[in-house]
Amino acid sequence: MDWAYLFEIALTGIAGGGLYALAALAFVLVYKATRVVNIAIGEMLMVGAYLFFTFAASFSLPIWMAVLGSVIGTGLLGAVIERTMIRPLLGEPPISVFMVTVGLASILVGLVEIIWTADQRRLPEFLPNTPVMIGEAFLAPKIAYGALIAVVLIGLVLLLFRFWRGGVALRATASDQAAAYSMGIHVPRVFSLAWVASSMIAAVAGIIVGAIGGISSSMGVFGLSVLVVVIVGGLDSVLGALVGGVLIGLIEALAGSYLGGEYKLLATFIVLVFVLMVRPYGLFGTHEIERL
């Protein structure tokens, strides 16, 4: 056993997992507040990445402005989706809303292909490209800096959730809508907030994913791994999203380098099946207990 190699792989896996955690956070945010399973989360990432591409490459804006533009643009898209597609379905069976997000995913892919064509593209280089050394281990710079951005953003979001009024309103709504409503919390506005915040986080995740692997109209498949992460972690658990993200990132990296790239998905799905057998609500998800 080559311990140095294992350490290096594990480090890459954990760093990659940071990105999963960020995207999973975006997913959990919407699920927690609105109980909507947003299957289009990967496509939201894609839209963020393409908007960044447009602002940075086509309009040649400075990177920070392009990031800001992408985050705001994707946030607006989230608000529009919530208002026009999700809110009218309030009170409908969860499966209907779920199917709408499936449709949303293909609409977004179609829009991207119409506007930007289906060709693969590269994002302008904006992350430092000097290798990062942690001890003896080498870490690809894009992955390292991507993880760093993810960690900072996750920290920021968690702080906002803990201390900002809007964050508290969101937690309250997630816990009990009727009580939140009677407490003076405008629940529909909280739904809107959850979608906007989720879309903004997805945009940042999309930009990092795009910076690492390039962008294309099929980059939404990243969302598949995110779904595994949130199901493993527990759909409504922020902690689950973080732990699940790192865990799945780690497993993918280990399976990819010791068994070969084609075993990555197999390994993660085996973990998924195992977790579901032992804890059907995910590692940190809440059991649904109703007192009758």
* Interface positions with other proteins (CB under 8 A): 156, 159-160, 163-169, 171-172, 175-176, 178-187, 286
Q: Among 237, 225, 226, 233, which Cα is nearest to 267's?
A: 225
Residue nearer to other proteins on the CB measure, 129 or 175: 175
C-alpha dihedral (27, 112, 51, 237), degrees to nearest 10? 0
Residue nearer to other proteins on the CB measure, 9 or 194: 194
Four-residue CA torsion sign, 87, 92, 97, 98: positive
Residue nearer to other proteins on the CB measure, 166 or 214: 166
Look up tokens 């003896």; give the residue. 136
Residue nearer to other proteins on the CB measure, 165 or 277: 165
Nearest approach, Cβ of 197 to other proteins (angstroms)? Answer: 11
Element at 45 (helix H, strand E) = helix 41-53
Nearest approach, Cβ of 147 to other proteins (angstroms)? Answer: 23
Residue nearer to other proteins on the CB measure, 3 or 163: 163
Nearest approach, Cβ of 189 to other proteins (angstroms)? Answer: 9
Per-residue burial over 172-198, b if 16 or more Cβ lie within 10 Å, else e, is bbbeebeebeeeebebeebbbbbbbbb
Residue nearer to other proteins on the CB measure, 166 or 213: 166
CA distance 50 to 73: 11
Nearest approach, Cβ of 92 to other proteins (angstroms)? Answer: 18
Amino acid at site 70: S
Q: Among 210, 207, 192, 193, which Cα is nearest to 157's?
A: 193
Q: Among 86, 85, 21, 72, which Cα is nearest to 200's?
A: 72
Nearest approach, Cβ of 45 to other proteins (angstroms)? Answer: 24
Nearest approach, Cβ of 141 to other proteins (angstroms)? Answer: 29
* Tokens representing residue 93 in the block: 């069976």
